[in-house]
Amino acid sequence: MKFPVAAFFLLFFCGSILFAEEPVSNLPPDPFGGIGDRPSIPDYELEVDRDRGSFALKAEDGKYQPGSHFAHWFMTATPERWGNYYVALKYVSDRPKLGVQVKIGDAALLKGYAPRTGGPGKQDAMVLGTAYIPKKGEYPVAILTGDVSNDDSFMITGLEFTPAPEDEPLGQSIDGTIQLEAKTATTYSEMMRYEPKEEKNCLGWWVDEKDWAEWKFDVSSPGKFKVNIVQGCGADQGGSEVAVLINDKTLKFKVEDTGGFQNWKSIDLGTVEIDEVGEHKLAVKPLSKAAKAVMDVQKIVLTPVAE
């Protein structure tokens, strides 16, 4: 019996489909393909004020000056303390991204591009970078844009200044120790701030118990850690109550009089379990102030505890 030619080609075609190898792609592998979602950081047990130490400038309180190719906004910043701040531009835009420069006295010159804000009237706040304010006082602020910036298509509404750390924390060391230095803290404060002088190098001016500090840090080797705070306190100034918040865990202690705010003493606060790899957070929040100032803080050290 003769085998129909059409049937032969049909069998050959179906077999090719059944046994064909998967097509080979010339695209490189996804470098993030094996990365899962990072666990979220648990909230603190105590409430904290993340708006403390922030301030804003409104465009309506400033002056707008149009130009043939550029436009300017002029404002005045009056920060209450020195320190590092994130600077965010607040604006509404239906336009393609436009160039923006912000000059804050002699302290900073920040540049960026403002993209669309996603719909008519929708406002955005774009962080342009950080500015270090060297002292309390008045600072002239100028915003330069590459086009008109006071109409419905592109409207600047102001600037936001929020506390920023002055340095990045060190990673977890080979022996598992985590050291959080004063200069790597974000100070949500009106008076307390990082004092950079060599003989200080600490969080000082802690005269308002509403001021607090926070560190965010990475853990590569989780486990149980002993927590120590290195604090100093002037004569007859001890006794303030302070909470150290580590994710959703809370340790409390009473500030010790060390005879001087830069006479450092390491205080053992107990142990805490950190059981996840990734980013974690720690805050120092005064609960009461016994005298003129709470304390100075040089650093916090988390030391692994052998099982």
Any idea which fold 55-163 has?
A: Jelly Rolls (2.60.120)
CA-to-CA distance for 22 and 221, rounded, in angstroms? 40
pLDDT in tens, the chain (307 residues): 444 544 444 444 444 444 445 555 555 665 555 555 566 788 999 999 999 999 999 999 999 998 777 889 999 999 988 999 999 999 999 888 888 999 999 999 999 999 988 766 788 899 999 999 999 999 999 999 877 888 888 889 999 999 999 998 888 999 999 999 999 999 999 999 999 999 999 999 999 999 999 999 999 999 999 999 999 999 999 999 999 999 999 999 999 999 999 999 999 999 999 999 999 999 999 999 999 999 999 999 999 998 7
CA-to-CA distance for 6 and 37, rounded, in angstroms? 54
Any idea which fold 178-304 has?
A: Jelly Rolls (2.60.120)
| Residue 307 CB partners (closer than 8 Å, separation 6+) | 223, 224
> What pLDDT score was predicted for residue 71?
83
Q: Would you list the DSSP string of 104-137?
A: ETTTEEEEEEE---SSTT-EEEEEEEEEEE-SSS
CA dihedral sign, ordered 117, 120, 121, 122:
negative
**CA distance readout (Å), 291 to 125, 235, 266:** 40, 10, 21
Q: Where are the beta strands (DSSP E) in the chain?
A: 55-58, 63-65, 71-77, 83-93, 98-104, 108-114, 123-133, 139-145, 154-163, 178-181, 186-188, 193-195, 202-204, 212-219, 223-233, 241-246, 249-254, 260-274, 278-286, 296-304
> What pLDDT score was predicted for residue 258?
97
**CA distance readout (Å), 221 to 46, 140, 141, 173:** 26, 47, 45, 9
Q: Where are the domains of the chain?
A: 55-163, 178-304
> Identical fold at 55-163 and 178-304?
yes
CA-to-CA distance for 31 and 302, rounded, in angstroms? 33
> What pLDDT score was predicted for residue 9?
43
> What pLDDT score was predicted for residue 255?
98
CA-to-CA distance for 92 and 115, rounded, in angstroms? 9
